Chains A and B, each alone.
Chain A
Amino acid sequence: MSNLFSGISGRFRRSPGTPNGTQPASPTIGTAPGAGAGPAAGPAAGTSSIHSSSSTASLAPRVPPLPNSPSLSQTMSMNESTNSHPNSDPRDPLAPYNLPRPKPLWLNDMYAKHIVKGNFMTLSTRPKTVEQGEWIAHHVVEHYRNLWNFVRVIHEKDEDGSSICNPQTCPRMSAGVNHSFTWLNSRKEPVEVPAQEYISLMQRWISGKIENSALFPTDPAGVSFAHNPGNPGISGATYASGGLDTPHSSTPIPAGPTTLNASLSQLAGPGDWLGKSSGFPIEFVEVCQTIFRQMFRVYSHLYWAHFIDPFYHLSLEKPLNSCFSHFLLTATEIDMLKPQELEPMQPLIDLWAANGTFPKDSKAYACANIKAGERLLAMSANQ
């Protein structure tokens, strides 16, 4: 076990303006614009105290709570990228993305296809009776299994010990030239590590969480259910007594909040939290949000660094697209990813909204810039 990396943060990298993905020589840590883009000392310090009290979590990517998230800020990138491309047409909805030219293959609609057809929301919409925490836990595990299915392709070592994603090909955990993600070391300093190491550390951290039955309970006796919204006449029944194995089961507690528009933290009153009735601990939602954010970063790296090599060459781009679009739809639907966290993959989200992958009533669709997506669609049609 290494104690070197105790934290994790996303950091905005100033685009050096070099098109076509040539690696900039060195814009490193100091260039991150603005205080908010750094590891956000405050929140990082807050989490590191938790860290120090728990030795088993020493590999944990510590991410500050959402509102103070140090991860990528959209506004910053907009300002910067419009400046860095003086030639771009201000009316071009894609201009703010500061995309390299030529644009990545995965933004071509032709390569943004799926192995499934139809409404992905069928898989993401919470069944009315199911308690929200249970639904979130289910999706964390499913998407984790899916994602690592693709990671294995780039990480497994072949006979001579090398892997497709290695410190030479990917010295940083990058998502294009505009973004890379750093870890916080034990002194809360952001440290660049090769993508391979970053992803491996993250994998160990996530599986540690998922396999922890205090965080992800497995006893069927503890299962609860969702409040029945269609039955106001029985409002007394909005209290679920919790399963037999739930601590304090004698106290009636509200079943999992289900209002999708309110933020999760608002829903839980004092002494209550999402998933409580099903036996999920108070930190459950935050842990799941962190897991989803980390998984999103891995997907971003897969697209920006490995879409062609190897996924396209191996004819795996359709499965990748299907798993990732399902991931995005689910993560936004259950409030595991916030719109501003989607930035590195925003153009693909726009494209999928425009080409019908994202149903119009999905939250992922609402996160998209349709004009940008339509623009990509039009350009793809003219290829």
Chain B
Amino acid sequence: MDNTGNRFHLNLNNNDRPQFNDRAFPTTPSTFPNPIFPPQAQGAQQQGQGQNAQQQPYGTGFAPAPAGYFMNNPYPPQYQQAPQAPQASYQQRPAGYQANDATNGLAHQFSNQNLGGGRASPYGNRQAPQGPQRPRTAGAPAQQTYNSSLSAPMPNQPTQQLPEYERAPERNPDKYPSSTQANQKKCSSLAESFFKDNVKRARDRNVRQSEMEQRLVDPNQSQSRREQTWSNAGKQEGKYLRFLRTRDNPENYQTLKIIGKGAFGEVKLVTKKQDGKVYAMKSLIKSEMFKKDQLAHVRAERDILAESDSPWVVKLYTTFQDSDFLYMLMEFLPGGDLMTMLIKYEIFSEDITRFYIAEIVLAIEAVHKYGFIHRDIKPDNILLDRGGHVKLTDFGLSTGFHKLHDNSYYQQLLQGKSNKPRDRNSVNLDQINLTVSNRGVINDWRKSRRVMAYSTVGTPDYIAPEIFTGHGYAFDCDWWSLGTIMFECQVGWPPFCAEDAHDTYRKIVNWRQSLYFPDDVQLGPEAENLIRSLVCNTENRLGRQGADEIKAHKFFRGVEFDTLRRIRAPFEPKLNSNVDTAYFPTDEIDQTDNATHLKAANAAAGGQPRVEAPEMSLPFIGYTFKRFENTTRG
């Protein structure tokens, strides 16, 4: 295939026609994934300049320039012959349009009148109309460019009164009712995601095809082997196409067990009825997501999981939806999570700590390479696979990283009085009182923490202070979280744990005073040094210049990061089957699924019919995702 002829990319940034800036395709920033520099609260931008300058090396090292969502997908090298260069035919006209210069003639005035600042575009970016529309003047210089015999000039006289084309009125979206304007947004985001998804699929398909062609010309291959290669490739592509056009639904899966519950949904161990394959299926309640303002987070999670193809990130096979739920079909990791492990073992030896922390470093590094900041790294989100190795999950979800960019939410929490009832699961936890001798108390705390993990509030224990003080944050906020997890592995509780979230917030903000290493816990000097280099202000935090800084720390001396995932993990899950849920607290989890609860509630309320095709509801457009490997996975 002709690579240069295959360039096909989205043209959403309207580079070629600047006066169309009323069409900035507004859905992108709000519901699409975290930009490289995440949305900051208003106040945060005041310190913008200096901070950005500091972030520079990190940003360029990890991610494409933050030019906008669609620029995050640069083409693979073979497309670089003429990267993103508009085709000649596109260049021709815009060159004229861009000139607002009056000397450029009537044609431009005319087009600018038609285009300039639709008075009421739906995007809020208005310009004043550029004056009353002027009739086109026949015989003006611009018109005399007809000179091919084919485009014989229309006689000037008759055209004088009648323009060749209908005149474009000023755009007036406000004349339509709000339902139409809502449909407008759906329509433009669906069209966008259609092309975005398809360009990516076509690109991946071409890569697969050229890989196959290489195998076909391999002289060591027997004829029948080549034939097999061809037919397998055809069947896999065909299965994928069939998968794409088939609507998935929860009835295609058999629930074996509910292995997790959260405020926004649940995670079930399921098998696909058609082929018996095992998955973890996360289902999120749309109405809850909507109420709790979690939509951007759903998108972020879906996007990072869909984009990443890393052993450090839990694999997402497909996403689909119905009128009530969003579904994510993911790989099932039978080893449970690090929180369960910490509840079981209380503390880890330094060697074991080194293993997990080193793996988490690599996992966080992988996430950063995709241009995402996790922001919610905590033991519950660190899963263990069949071999006991680490994978990250929960990108901004379910444990309620509540109203993340709503700075005022945190301010309220920080200023407000602690209003939680004191007797809830009451464990008198003030870290000054915490010593190794009251581990039992700590474990009570952990159990309450599991309850908390399922609530909307979630635990703030591992969150970096800059996230909720509103001064903006960058990739290194995940390294703070790493430091607090390491503290917990070594000490037995997270450094800022407190009885309720408000106290934890205060402790985190005042970390200089509250970070305290108990006297009766013997930490190696390198371990303590690493923790202190991570749990500190962002200017001094290790990892600001990239994960290599952390890997080079003395604590990791002797660790071979490149082969870490291939060595045997200190704890390997002992499993009786591929659907063994021994490492999940299934007996603590209500085994009635949300769909059943919802059905009961709907039946009680009389039940309303669904109105709209689920994938058409605006906030969830583009949610549906289908990974190629899903059709080929063994």
Choose among A119, A240, A313, A320 the residue that contacts B175 (Cβ–Cβ < 8 A).
A313
Q: Which residues of A contact B192 (CB under 8 A)?
A: 115, 319
Which of the segments B176-184, B296-304, B463-471, B582-590 contacts the partner chain?
B176-184
How would residues 85 to 119 of chain B score, 1 for a CB under 8 Å from any chain A CB and 0 otherwise?
A: 01111100100110000000001001100110010
Q: Which A-chain residue is minimally distant from B227 (CB atoms)? A: A237
* Chain A min CB distance to B74 (Å): 14
Which has the most chain B C-beta neighbours within 10 Å: A225, A231, A359? A225
Asked if residues B238 and A225 are in contact (CB atoms below 8 Å), the reply is: yes
Does A127 sit within 8 A of B, measured CB to CB? yes
Task: Determine the distance from Cα of A308 to Cα of B173 in the docked complex, in whole angstroms.
Answer: 11
Give the contact-size bracket for chain A.
35 or more
Q: Which residues of A contact B199 (CB under 8 A)?
A: 116, 122-123
Task: Determine the distance from Cα of A118 to Cα of B2 in the docked complex, in whole angstroms.
Answer: 13
Task: Determine the distance from Cα of A366 to Cα of B1 in the docked complex, in whole angstroms.
Answer: 20
Asked if residues B150 and A312 are in contact (CB atoms below 8 Å), the reply is: no
Which of the segments A24-32, A48-56, A145-153, A176-184 contacts the partner chain?
A145-153
Does B152 sit within 8 A of A, measured CB to CB? yes
Q: A149-B190, A374-B150 are in contact. Are A122 and B6 (CB under 8 A)?
A: yes
Give the contact-size bracket for chain B.
35 or more
Q: Which residues of B contact A129 (CB under 8 A)?
A: 209, 212, 230-231, 233-234, 237
Q: Which residues of B contact A123 (CB under 8 A)?
A: 8, 198-199, 202
Does B23 sit within 8 A of A, measured CB to CB? yes
* Chain A min CB distance to B170 (Å): 9
Q: Which residues of A contact B218 (CB under 8 A)?
A: none
Q: Which residues of A contact B176 (CB under 8 A)?
A: 158, 164, 310, 313-314
Asked if residues A102 and B166 are in contact (CB atoms below 8 Å), the reply is: yes
Does B121 sit within 8 A of A, measured CB to CB? yes
Asked if residues B151 and A109 are in contact (CB atoms below 8 Å), the reply is: no
Q: A104-B166, A383-B136 are in contact. Are A225 and B230 (CB under 8 A)?
A: yes
Task: Determine the distance from Cα of A108 to Cα of B97 in the docked complex, in whole angstroms.
Answer: 14
Asked if residues A356 and B121 are in contact (CB atoms below 8 Å), the reply is: no
Q: Which residues of A contact B154 (CB under 8 A)?
A: 89, 92
CB-contacts of B122-176 with A (<8 A): 122-123, 136, 142-143, 145-146, 148-152, 154, 158, 162-169, 171-173, 175-176
Q: Which B-chain residue is minimally distant from A356 (CB atoms)? A: B89
Asked if residues B241 and A119 are in contact (CB atoms below 8 Å), the reply is: no
Q: Which A-chain residue is minimally distant from B144 (CB atoms)? A: A382
Asked if residues A220 and B180 are in contact (CB atoms below 8 Å), the reply is: no
Choose among A92, A102, A109, A117 the residue that contacts B10 (Cβ–Cβ < 8 A).
A117
Asked if residues A314 and B164 are in contact (CB atoms below 8 Å), the reply is: no
Q: A156-B183, A319-B188 are in contact. Are A108 and B230 (CB under 8 A)?
A: no
Asked if residues A118 and B9 are in contact (CB atoms below 8 Å), the reply is: yes
Which of the segments A35-43, A131-139, A260-268, A287-295 contacts the partner chain?
A131-139
Does B439 sit within 8 A of A, measured CB to CB? no
Task: Determine the distance from Cα of A152 to Cα of B136 in the docked complex, in whole angstroms.
Answer: 36
Does B239 sit within 8 A of A, measured CB to CB? yes
* Chain B min CB distance to A265 (Å): 23
Which of the segments B242-250, B475-483, B563-571 contacts the partner chain?
B242-250
Asked if residues A108 and B188 are in contact (CB atoms below 8 Å), the reply is: no
* Chain A min CB distance to B7 (Å): 4
Task: Determine the distance from Cα of A119 to Cα of B242 in the docked complex, in whole angstroms.
Answer: 24
Which has the most chain A C-beta neighbours within 10 Å: B1, B93, B168, B237? B237
Task: Determine the distance from Cα of A233 to Cα of B206 in the docked complex, in whole angstroms.
Answer: 25
Residues of chain A touching chain B, judged by Cβ–Cβ distance below 8 Å, are 87, 89, 91-93, 101-105, 107-111, 113-123, 125, 127-131, 134-135, 137-138, 141-142, 145-146, 149-150, 152-153, 156-159, 164, 210, 216-220, 223-226, 228, 230-231, 233-234, 237, 240, 278, 308, 310, 312-316, 318-320, 322-323, 355-357, 359, 371, 374-375, 378-383
Contacts beyond the supplied A153-B187, A374-B151: 20 A-B pairs with Cβ under 8 Å: A105-B166, A110-B115, A122-B6, A131-B238, A142-B194, A150-B187, A220-B239, A220-B631, A237-B230, A308-B166, A310-B180, A314-B176, A315-B22, A319-B191, A320-B191, A356-B89, A378-B145, A379-B164, A381-B93, A382-B143
